[in-house]
Structure 1
Amino acid sequence: MAFVKYSQIFMKFSKLLVAFLFATTTAIFAQDKKITLEEIWSGNFVQQRLQSLQSLNNGSEYVVLNYDQANGTTSIDAYSYKTGKQTRTILNSANLEAIKNFQDFSFSKDEKKILLSTEVEPIYRHSSRDIFYVYDTESEKLSKLSDKKIQEASFSPDNSKVAYVYENNIYYLDLATGKETQVTTDGEINSVINGITDWVYEEEFSFVKAFAWNPTGEKIAYMRFDEAGVPEFSMDLFGKDLYPQQEVFKYPKAGESNSKVSLHMYDVAGGNSEEIKLGDYNDFYIPRIKWTNDPMLLSVQVLNRHQNNLDLIFVNAADNSAAVVMNETDKAYIDITDNLTFLSDNSFIWTSEKDGWNHIYHYSEEGKLKNQVTSGNWEVTNYYGYDPKSKKIFYQSTENGSVNRDVYSIRLNGKSKTRLTNQTGTNSADFSADFTFFINAFSNTETPTIYTLRDSKDGKIVREIQNNKKLLEKEQSYQFSPKELSTIEVNGEELNMWMIKPANFDASKKYPLLMYQYSGPGSQSVSNSYFGTNDYWYQLLANEGYIIACVDGRGTGFKGADFKKVTYKELGKYEVEDQIAAAQKLGERAYIDASRMGIWGWSYGGFMSSNAILKGNDTFSMAIAVAPVTSWRFYDSVYTERYMQTPQENASGYDENSPLNHVEKLKGDYLLIHGGGDDNVHVQNTMRMVEELVQANKQFRWAIYPDRNHGIYGGNTRLHLYTMMTNFILEKL
């Protein structure tokens, strides 16, 4: 009997020992788990984010568009800011007979009617054609706006009408009578556009809707684009049919003819339009129009083609007269924003870099400066709005360092400034309609995004809304390395840098270096924020024994106007010099193998990486360029001329820094990638680069993704792309 007992004890001990060893081995193995490309591009490491929300007028509730996957229906649900609990359902498509679901919505000013978007057909980056319905929240009646796919539907201020654009003409529908009125008649595809922007305005000034009801609904101000003289660009989309489909659209390249833009005022009662004579301008842009708090006074921003002279004009809709209220000039260029805010007395808030840093200013209705609200050697990076009750302005800034962001409030007189966020890192805000609350999104290099509801008076946390602890828990089974923030002194400047080292980093060993950068004017790639998708790819490369680094050189943003605008008229000169010099300085570190340094980038970053391996052929042994600009002569007028003027005025600036003119310097390994359906940076850039490399008898690798746009995505495309780049790095660096 004793033998049996000891045997049982031994068996139990053995089982426990095996279990312990298995658990220990599993734990050790889990800590060594390697990340894969499939995991990255299947969304395994995507941060949980708040759904896009819209504050209701009451300021105590917000609404969210929810999708019921099981039933295929959508609903507009209201939630309490204070509790986060659902308070009511404003609309559920399950209760509608005409439509099963909708993709987007917008409220009328009084929130009694809702425009519902269905059958959305994307056009370019911001534009689409939709089938719209109008839902009345009081009568619960749903009515179809039009059988046609239309653009930019917009309620009149009293909800009685909806204006929209169809085939480049403006219409409005009287919702009570069902009568449709055509406002313009000369719209024609690839010739004349009314009420929406052309391709280059949409891409570079970031708006599509180019008409606006005045506050009383008596007038419609609209822009007209005569693009008959704009050269056409065409590209073949291959699809799966027997013959490719050719897409043709107006695209003004640098130095070529732009659309002729004009401003018009339509009188609803009279049914007639009149062109507004803005002044003696030639070859200009209208990047913004906005009605002031005077219902008959329209503000218009007019920018010269060089984009260094801006007039703020007030148009009196009673007699259509126009007068310049304020003028701003810059030795380089002026950035356009949506920050213009009119107060009850029609004085206005404006942001400007006029003192060398981006700050907030307060002007009288007559355009006289009342006071500079913020000042200092730091940048206002986001303007959130003005609360008339507290007389406070809310904004985001770099007051705690250019890689950090904090949210502040300040009185209109520039006093009582209050920091509303208290954690060092990247803080942003989404305010309720009445500025009672704001939702703070916070992250830093160690913390994925945490969403909290805060009181706008003092920034105190009301409640935590959402965090990403599950993502952190998931990442614990991988050997992820920290993203180390620092600076590096290059060409007389302290440049911001991050670095990711292998998890088992040994300072006595030498590692190959891969640099990433974007480097475009005013951009930022080095910030105190958590991993993005590419950062997980960098972790994969770090696991393979690479050091990855990123340096924001001269020309990037948030360190003052002089730092940003030093690249004016010479894109690709100082930025490339800084990347080469930074690589050389990093190559002096004992743990970096200076003979194995590579660089990669996408879009502007592809332009940079191409130049870096050519001009820095003794520094970089490998480069990858995705969707690169290879000559600014090929890119659009608005973006390019903002920084370069025209090729006719600045030929040397365009050509001396074009990779096309330096191909004979190629020594290292070069991979060139582009999307064949890129309407932004045309595949022409890569085709010309290929031809120059071939004629110089330089060997390289290249790939075209058919029909893919500038983002090169869809299906397995991103996985394929990053697999190709990974294999190239492993083989060549």
Structure 2
Amino acid sequence: MPGQYDPVSTEEPTYPPTSPGGGGALALGASPRHSLDSVGSGSDLVYRDIAEEDPFEEKSGFRDEEQDEEPGFVVEPRRLRPRKRSRKILAVLIFIVAGAAAIGVLAASGYSAPSFAVKSGNRHITMDHVFNGTFSPHFQSHQWVAQADDGTYSEIDPEGNIILHNVLNNDSILLVASSDVVDPRSGNRMEWDWWRLSADMEYVMFRTDYRKQWRHSSHGNYWVHRLSDKATFPVHEPSPADVMPSVTHASWSPVSHAIAYVSNNDLYVLTAAQLAAARPRAIRVTHDGSSVVFNGVPDWVYEEEVFSTDYAMWWSPNAEEVAYLRSNESEVPEFKLQYYNPSSDAFSVNPYPTEVDMRYPKPGTAMPRVTVHTFSLASYAETGAVGSKRDLHWDGELAVTDRIITEVAWVADDGLMIKEIDRAARSGKVVVFTAGKSEGTVVRTLGKDGEEGDDGWIDHGQDVIPVKSGVGGYVDIVPNDGYDHIALFSPITATEPIWLSSGEWEVASISGIDHEKGIVYFVAANPSIDRHLYSVALPTKDNLQDFTPEPIALTDTSQPGYYDAFFSPQAGFYGLAYRGPNVPWQRLVQTGEDGINIMLEDNAELNATLAEFHRPIETRSTLQTDEYELNMIEILPPNIDTSGRKKYPLLIQVYGGPYSQMVSNAFKRDWHSFLACEQKYVIVRIDGRGTGFKGRALRNPIRDDLGHWEVEDQLALARELIKRKYIDRQRVGIWGWSYGGYMTLKTLEAGHDLFTLGMAVAPVTDWRYYDSIYTERYMNTPEANPDGYVRSAVNNVTNFAGIDLLLAHGTGDDNVHFANMASLVDKLTQDQVRGWRMRMFTDSSHSIMTRGANRELYEWMTSYLEEKWGHGGNIQH
């Protein structure tokens, strides 16, 4: 996705990534670079697709045992992508230590409330304050331990020991002493960066020699540490110190202590019995892994646009089978990324660029051919390799050239569910496999003639969670009269849902299930700019026929609020993070009426800090365009004079991608707060047509026509705002990153008479340059929609003449390729449009981080605004 955000690293390495093949040796100094940052679902900016770069975004995620988020303060700009929800009961409580400065205290706290002034301190905000975390809320970081009693979480102490704490009885035990984990290669203490405990709590798996590849994927050497005798040995033959590790993912079985892992794109399984042997030797499940064939891990486009993970394998709940995706991208066109300097020193000389080959499907071209398979450990034990693998098929299965597998999930010990859609995301099926069968049953239909019931696209997330008690089945997030809600399908072969929620609001995520009590916990955008926590009881066998859902709010819905909740594995406890509109706080809560409720962080120090500084005035309201009510937020200079005696520049910040959200009640203070307080600019954002959390009717109009209705809404906003007496009509600008950069250029193209300035960072300039899975979801193929592709491109560049235009792009952008910027510059040159200013950032990816590039980019944009606009608040004579 160009640009929603899934959490990421604060730094971008200065070396190129490995080839997606993952099997080649690479010198240690040429490790794969960090992936693009993405925005977490608890953030103000929820980019479901291409996400705008926001280096000040507070991390609002958690790690589960198969998805590692790197704590950091930069969020990625990527998501031109669909919503990605965690599919399993969230096994981790991570109160992420927020690194980024989050956007400011809200001056207006109502959904459509009028503005009011907030008392500010006297200290000025500087760019150092913006970047050094002065305004960052703090959250404790803990991880629930699914294998222990519910309410147990882990902590790593300063010496590197792993400690387990139980919330209920306040007990603590030492799980692993760091001195006991010895690297067999050196005899020294192991330097690991990741760990996981086996289901039976007999072993701990560690990762060393971590090398990042793309956004989620990485390489590493994996080790098993046996707690009984403190022996440590490799899961797979470790690589030499100067060679890239071959293993790209490893995970414990949900029962006992088997391991499934991928090396050189082949799937291996190490059974519990094998692990107990003196020299463990794994079962090699597949034998065709290569640079173009992937087993158990996604290729680039599936990692980026579909699963948002580094794995494509799934253990059955009873650990008897492993399902896995096989991707063959041999027919996908090859794209070469060039890196000019594989070091951290800008003065280093690399006479020849390093080239990284990747397969990148663009609209209308061949996509990866994907199939789903299972491997049975029980069958292998009885018959060996013969008969232990199943190739899965179903009636009406789409051709492998024209389909996307959007989700694979176990919904019972012997029940597997697969979702398949066509490449245009217009039709699809949900298929269930039972009792070890290779032929599945189609149980649900997706698209206009199915669950969506309209002409929009099929959204896909990782939402399915099995229900392990009561009536059984599974829950999923499904459109209900045009709004995303929770549906129970019971039994797993059910074709019709039992609705657990409904109404003109949307469920953002399923947070957890208490299977013993029969309660589902979820977070809802109700209203759309809030996030509140709810619970709803599952039906029982006694009331199934006349069941009426009654969701209960667990947070105060009478007040604006933006909450995250991270539930323990059995949903007996949760970490509740309040993220706005006021200063964030964090509590540890036990479910039930008389459970514990402990304040973990109140951020009192941040409260005191905020009182010292200038503070912007923030108002949230709505703008009516056509029949749509659009959420907007204004960030105003403190003590703004609205009489018209003083004039203020207007800068619209835009993202606007499908299913994204920029306007919310989350607390945030960042670069825009600096511009409002110190430069005296008026900053405004609006979520127009196509954006998320207000129902499909608001999202669907942009189908087959990107860059039209979203732009019309930005123009309507500008026309409305320049009517205000205090806005300087000679200083009206717009800026954005990724999809926001695209929106900036399309808005300037259409509204050149309204705007005098624009800044576009890492923009898409023609959708034929972007990846097929994302683009075709909204635009269909170029063959089916040729006029739409031409219309959506940035073509009328002569309209940029007379506009102050700033452009920026990283040359190492694996997501929105530099070709987008090169094409735009070519058009500007051919049409002799002058006066624009452009910088390319050497080797930087979509997040523009390499060798200090991120801070430099913001400093450059700030100086550009000062040069062109100066300060606001000027008295007019």
Give, as a single letter, the amino acid of the residue that structure 1 aligns with 2:276. A
Give, as a single letter, the amino acid of the residue that structure 1 aligns with 2:855. L
Q: Which residue of 2 aligns with 1:145?
A: 235
Q: Which residue of 1 aligns with 2:481?
A: 355
Q: Per-residue displacement from partner, 1:425-444 (whole Å, max 9, x unpaired)?
A: 10111112222221111132
Structure 2 counterparts to residues 144-223 of structure 1, below 5 A: 144-146=234-236, 147-148=238-239, 149=245, 150-173=247-270, 174-177=274-277, 178-189=280-291, 191-205=292-306, 206-223=308-325
C-alpha displacement of 1:57: 4.2
Give, as a single letter, the amino acid of the residue that structure 1 aligns with 2:525. T
Q: Per-residue displacement from partner, 1:516-572 (whole Å, max 9, x unpaired)?
A: 02111111101011115xx34433443212111111111111111110121111111
- For the 8 Å contact 2:199–2:257, the answer to whether it is kept is no
Distance in 1 separating the partners of 2:821 and 2:177: 48
Give, as a single letter, the amino acid of the residue that structure 1 aligns with 2:275. L
Q: Which residue of 1 aligns with 2:588?
A: 453
Q: What TM-score results when the alignment is normalised by the length of structure 1?
A: 0.90
Matched, 1:392 2:502: no
Matched, 1:227 2:332: no
- For the 8 Å contact 1:491–1:578, the answer to whether it is kept is no
Distance in 2 separating the partners of 1:90 and 1:567: 53
- For the 8 Å contact 2:762–2:821, the answer to whether it is kept is yes
Q: Which moved more, 1:480-489 or 1:212-221?
A: 212-221
Q: Per-residue displacement from partner, 1:56-90 (whole Å, max 9, x unpaired)?
A: 3445433345363xxxx53322233358x672231
- For the 8 Å contact 1:35–1:540, the answer to whether it is kept is no
45, 48, 53: which one aligns with 2:135: 45
Residues 693, 538 of structure 1: alpha-carbon distance in 2 compared, 3 angstrom cutoff: farther
Q: Which residue of 1 aligns with 2:177?
A: 92
Give, as a single letter, the amino acid of the residue that structure 2 aligns with 1:334. I
Residues 730, 59 of structure 1: alpha-carbon distance in 2 compared, 3 angstrom cutoff: farther
SS at match of 1:463: strand
Distance in 2 separating the partners of 1:65 and 1:705: 39
SS at match of 1:648: coil
SS at match of 1:44: coil
Structure 2 counterparts to residues 372-383 of structure 1, below 5 A: 372-383=499-510
333, 354, 360: which one aligns with 1:251: 360
Distance in 2 separating the partners of 1:525 and 1:460: 35
Distance in 1 separating the partners of 2:179 and 2:755: 59
Q: Which residue of 2 aligns with 1:281?
A: 398
SS at match of 1:171: strand
512, 521, 529: which one aligns with 2:649: 512
- For the 8 Å contact 2:617–2:637, the answer to whether it is kept is no
Distance in 2 separating the partners of 1:77 and 1:692: 59
Report the identity percentage.
31
SS at match of 1:566: helix
Distance in 2 separating the partners of 1:656 and 1:389: 55
Q: Which residue of 2 aligns with 1:21?
A: none
SS at match of 2:697: helix
Distance in 1 separating the partners of 2:569 and 2:121: 46
Q: Which residue of 2 aligns with 1:528?
A: 665
- For the 8 Å contact 1:65–1:74, the answer to whether it is kept is no
Residues 471, 82 of structure 1: alpha-carbon distance in 2 compared, 3 angstrom cutoff: farther
Distance in 2 separating the partners of 1:598 and 1:386: 47
Distance in 2 separating the partners of 1:669 and 1:681: 23
Q: Per-residue displacement from partner, 1:233-252 (whole Å, max 9, x unpaired)?
A: 11210114222101110000
Q: Which residue of 1 aligns with 2:532?
A: 406
Q: Which residue of 1 aligns with 2:748?
A: 613
Q: Which residue of 1 aligns with 2:551?
A: 417
Higher relative contact order (CA 8 A, sep 6+): 2
Q: Which residue of 2 aligns with 1:561?
A: 696
Distance in 1 separating the partners of 2:789 and 2:580: 38
Which structure has the larger Rg over C-alpha atoms? 1
Residues 636, 730 of structure 1: alpha-carbon distance in 2 compared, 3 angstrom cutoff: same
Q: Which residue of 1 aligns with 2:69?
A: none
Q: Which residue of 1 aligns with 2:198?
A: 108
Instruction: Give the number of the structure whose residues are more often helix, by fraction.
Output: 1
Give, as a single letter, the amino acid of the residue that structure 1 aligns with 2:516. K
Give, as a single letter, the amino acid of the residue that structure 2 aligns with 1:50. Q
Residues 82, 503 of structure 1: alpha-carbon distance in 2 compared, 3 angstrom cutoff: farther
Matched, 1:708 2:708: no
Distance in 1 separating the partners of 2:622 and 2:674: 21
C-alpha displacement of 1:113: 2.2
C-alpha displacement of 1:649: 0.9
SS at match of 2:668: coil
Distance in 2 separating the partners of 1:665 and 1:719: 27
- For the 8 Å contact 1:584–1:594, the answer to whether it is kept is no
Q: Which residue of 2 aligns with 1:309?
A: 427
- Structure 2, unmatched stretches of 5+, are 1-119, 184-188, 240-244, 342-347, 540-547, 870-877
- For the 8 Å contact 1:385–1:395, the answer to whether it is kept is yes
777, 782, 788: which one aligns with 1:642: 777
SS at match of 2:161: strand
Distance in 2 separating the partners of 1:88 and 1:290: 34
Q: Which residue of 1 aligns with 2:461?
A: 337
Residues 696, 102 of structure 1: alpha-carbon distance in 2 compared, 3 angstrom cutoff: same
C-alpha displacement of 1:117: 1.5
- For the 8 Å contact 1:37–1:537, the answer to whether it is kept is no
C-alpha displacement of 1:217: 3.9
C-alpha displacement of 1:472: 2.1
- For the 8 Å contact 1:47–1:471, the answer to whether it is kept is yes
437, 443, 449: which one aligns with 2:579: 443
Q: Which residue of 2 aligns with 1:684?
A: 819
Q: Which residue of 2 aligns with 1:12?
A: none
Distance in 2 separating the partners of 1:463 and 1:316: 44
Residues 137, 242 of structure 1: alpha-carbon distance in 2 compared, 3 angstrom cutoff: same
Instruction: Give the number of the structure whose residues are more often strand, by fraction.
Output: 1
Distance in 2 separating the partners of 1:212 and 1:488: 45
C-alpha displacement of 1:378: 0.7
C-alpha displacement of 1:157: 4.2
Distance in 2 separating the partners of 1:318 and 1:477: 65
- For the 8 Å contact 1:480–1:539, the answer to whether it is kept is no
C-alpha displacement of 1:131: 1.0
Structure 2 counterparts to residues 665-684 of structure 1, below 5 A: 665-684=800-819
- Structure 1, unmatched stretches of 5+, are 1-29
- For the 8 Å contact 1:361–1:369, the answer to whether it is kept is no
Distance in 2 separating the partners of 1:492 and 1:267: 54
399, 418, 432: which one aligns with 1:300: 418
Residues 542, 374 of structure 1: alpha-carbon distance in 2 compared, 3 angstrom cutoff: same
Aligned-residue CA RMSD (Å): 2.1
Matched, 1:134 2:224: yes
Q: Which residue of 2 aligns with 1:631?
A: 766
- For the 8 Å contact 2:744–2:759, the answer to whether it is kept is yes
Q: Per-residue displacement from partner, 1:302-341 (whole Å, max 9, x unpaired)?
A: 1221223232212246342222122222322122222212
855, 858, 875: which one aligns with 1:719: 855
C-alpha displacement of 1:488: 2.2
Give, as a single letter, the amino acid of the residue that structure 1 aligns with 2:696. A
